Amino acid sequence: MERREEQLGAAGAGAAPALDFTVENVEKALHQLYYDPNIDNKNLAQKWLMQAQVSPQAWHFSWQLLQPDKVPEIQYFGASALHIKISRYWSDIPTDQYESLKAQLFTQITRFASGSKIVLTRLCVALASLALSMMPDAWPCAVADMVRLFQAEDSPVDSQGRCLALLELLTVLPEEFQTSRLPQYRKGLVRTSLAVECGTVFPLLEQLLQQPSSPSCVRQKVLKCFSSWVQLEVPLQDCEALIQAAFAALQDSELFDSSVEAIVNAISQPDAQRYVNTLLKLIPLVLGLQEQLRQAVQNGDMETSHGICRIAVALGENHSRALLDQVEHWQSFLALVNMIMFCTGIPGHYPVNETTSSLTLTFWYTLQDDILSFEAEKQAVYQQVYRPVYFQLVDVLLHKAQFPSDEEYGFWSSDEKEQFRIYRVDISDTLMYVYEMLGAELLSNLYDKLGRLLTSSEEPYSWQHTEALLYGFQSIAETIDVNYSDVVPGLIGLIPRISISNVQLADTVMFTIGALSEWLADHPVMINSVLPLVLHALGNPELSVSSVSTLKKICRECKYDLPPYAANIVAVSQDVLMKQIHKTSQCMWLMQALGFLLSALQVEEILKNLHSLISPYIQQLEKLAEEIPNPSNKLAIVHILGLLSNLFTTLDVSHHEDDHEGPELRKLPVPQGPNPVVVVLQQVFQLIQKVLSKWLNDAQVVEAVCAIFEKSVKTLLDDFAPMVPQLCEMLGRMYSTVPQASALDLTRQLVHIFAHEPAHFPPIEALFLLVTSVTLSLFQQGPRDHPDIVDSFMQLLAQALKRKPDLFLCERLDVKAVFQCAVLALKFPEAPTVKASCGFFTELLPRCGEIESVGKVVQEDGRMLLIAVLEPPEHVDQGGSAATWFSICPSQP
């Protein structure tokens, strides 16, 4: 034994530094790890112990740590160290030591069969790793040998202990295979060998599971072992007997969870669909669980109902195509589908009273896809059978989507409410998908139900029922084109009749109107039926998201039909903005909505509305510009600038088509006169400069200022031209004083839109040269603290080459310094910066022939670029001192 340990200890002696990894020191470190209150000491101990586990000395101390007088924590570490040595350093073990190592592990497992279970499991994992490394050549009958050794009658351990130890070993063997580091070619050989070993394992498991004398703990272990082995893609027909035994074990509450896991794992194997006859035999077994399922639901036993549902869904979802193909068995599969329908509609509110129904939703997608994938004739037959099922599904889903009573909902936790919200989104997605199967008839069905509900005088209707039906409409209308539906006019007519006495119902009414905004654009006569509801809801902070987003959709889709309502919309919006009813993000959406609205008016009307809308904010900004900077007035400034920015994002009087992109598709000039946005910007330009003078060091304020102009440029394109000279001048001053990435991004937009136009080239060129010079100086000082600036600078350079390469012809541009700075940017750890630098070189390198200075630099410094590209990331200097970062970049003149 000592000779074997010496040989194993000598194997791989250079694997770790020669630290003092003795038994005593390991025990001290473990005590420190478990019991020292100081977290730093714990971390040091853990690091030392990890080194100990991979050291050559681990072969010595591991066995000693397993001695009976040690506590389980120490024994566990010893077993874990053995597993690590065997699994990671197998090649270090001499071949003549395999058998003795195997024998010693068997001895330890036998001893721990009546000891600590966690230590037993780690030893079993170690032996499993050894078996996988030896199979199939060095240990061809590994599993048979394991069974034989643990069945030996001369063992000091009682038969139940030996049986449980054997089952633990057999359970971890496939699990260890799944996570093993075996080379790919070895994995294939071992998988084949394990598949053969099923012939030894499965009969043993069947015997133990069906044996009346087997105690519950043994049978539970058998089911877990079976569950582990089926994941090796064992042929389903070879599992029949064990699957049937697992179904029988579902009646035993102690075995229920293990049985469910085993059955689901067996059914869910990808290869299982090949064994159609076995699948057909499983359907009656699953249907036989319906009474147990009903009893569980009736008794509020969520675990049992959940488990049975998992089994039914596993069979239906994984094999619906294979089972649909068996036309002669259509009734039994339909019965399975109806059982899953029962699970979908299980009583109670998700997730408080039940958590089962959500498991079934994917099944309905799968079944529909499989039905619609058949050829026309077969599809027609199945459509006839399953369309009624899917109409029933819609009713079930809408019932499950209903909110509980106000009183009950008030007791739900925020987490439960969020889970319910996500569940309703999943139901919404399912309804949208089901529309493909049911078509326009689905909308008619929902409309008829809602109409009867709202017009019936026989009994009062619950708001929950109304809300659910509207939610169904909304789910479909959000993604499906309902413009040609003949029920939408009736729905629009019904909406004002809804008695809204609840926030959830009001929210859904708003979202439904928003989902129908495209339809309203085609039927503008109906706008007046719903617009008052939306404007009224704007004043309710609880409806903030739904009302503002709906108004934005209406203003975007119906803007050309809204001029008669414009004054009212602006007045209501201005009122809620002044009262600060909404949060910042909703205020921004509201400004975008107003931008869409104003775009359709005459210039005089736009200017008049703009004056009333933004004058209060301009006055407030003038006051703030006089104050000493502090966190409070900073928030107010950023908020006001954000409002203006979002307004100008959508205020587009030239009505340029959104899908027409590219510089060649220019907007036509506005015939009525100057662009209103430009007029306003020119009026507030001095004020903005005044704000900047005090806040130039604050990146958030600078970014908010740049956003106003950047969004205006993107929206107005050529119409922004009158602002170009003064904006270029302001940007130059800003960037020279305090370089900010947002200023570079705005410069890039100006280059993109205006650099090609001769009238605007001089100020654009001057700005480009200035920001380049400043940025190169920044590189000289050390750019590692400014990855955002480097990223934006690289994007600006790439845009300049793409839109106006003449910018690189200027003698004042140090192309060599630009090239070398871009090489440095390639070495940044931030992926976006590296990507931007690559984008620059992608534009630069093809221009070596047309731009002499570029060709010269690439000729001289191209090797530097090649080295930077090929250099592994871990060699990058992330310290970023000025000397390091600018050692190859010359000073600017």
Locate 75 and state its tokens.
């024994």
- Distance of alpha carbon 536 from alpha carbon 520, whole angstroms: 19
- Distance of alpha carbon 677 from alpha carbon 653, whole angstroms: 9
Spatial neighbors of 796 by CB under 8 A, at least 6 apart, are 744, 745, 747, 748, 751, 768, 771
- Residue tagged 């789910």 (tokens): 475
Report the share of the chain in percent with pLDDT over 70: 92
Q: Is the pLDDT of residue 595 over 90?
A: yes
Q: Is the pLDDT of residue 634 over 50?
A: yes
- For the stretch 330-366, pLDDT in tens is 999 999 999 999 999 999 999 999 999 999 999 999 9
Average pLDDT of the chain is 89
Name the 3-class secondary structure at 501.
coil
Name the amino acid, one letter, at 489: P
DSSP H or E run through 392: helix 376-400
User: Given its phi and psi angles, is residue 675 left (phi above 0), alpha (psi -120 to 50 degrees) or beta?
Assistant: beta
Predicted local distance difference test score (pLDDT) of residue 671: 45
How far is CA 767 from each of CA 27, 62, 425, 770, 809, rounded to the nearest angstrom? 69, 70, 49, 5, 15
Q: Is the pLDDT of residue 316 over 90?
A: yes
- Distance of alpha carbon 265 from alpha carbon 311, whole angstroms: 9
Locate 782 and state its tokens.
């050390």
Residues 714 and 648 sit within 8 Å (Cβ to Cβ): no
Cα of 180 vs its chain's centroid, Å: 28
Spatial neighbors of 291 by CB under 8 A, at least 6 apart, are none
Residues 773 and 734 sit within 8 Å (Cβ to Cβ): no
Predicted local distance difference test score (pLDDT) of residue 153: 62
Locate 458 and state its tokens.
């026989």
Residues 428 and 470 sit within 8 Å (Cβ to Cβ): no
Over residues 100-111, mean pLDDT:
94
Predicted local distance difference test score (pLDDT) of residue 656: 52
pLDDT tier, 655 (very low <50, low <70, confident <90, very high otherwise): low
- For the stretch 840-873, pLDDT in tens is 999 999 998 888 899 999 999 889 998 888 876 5
User: Given its phi and psi angles, is residue 673 left (phi above 0), alpha (psi -120 to 50 degrees) or beta?
Assistant: left
- For the stretch 464-490, pLDDT in tens is 999 999 999 999 998 888 888 899 999
Predicted local distance difference test score (pLDDT) of residue 438: 95
**Among 689, 684, 690, residue whose Cα is nearest residue 647:** 684
Over residues 499-519, mean pLDDT:
94
Q: How many CA atoms lie within 13 A of 608 on its CB side?
A: 8
Burial class (CB in 10 A: 0-12, 13-18, 19+), 830: middle
Q: Is the pLDDT of residue 381 over 70?
A: yes
Locate 732 and state its tokens.
């130059």
Predicted local distance difference test score (pLDDT) of residue 872: 62
Work out the end-to-end distance of the chain between its first and last CA atoms, rounded to an integer number of angstroms.
77
Torsional sign, CA 155, 157, 163, 167:
negative
Predicted local distance difference test score (pLDDT) of residue 481: 86
Q: Is the pLDDT of residue 558 over 90?
A: yes
DSSP H or E run through 416: helix 414-438
Predicted local distance difference test score (pLDDT) of residue 672: 54
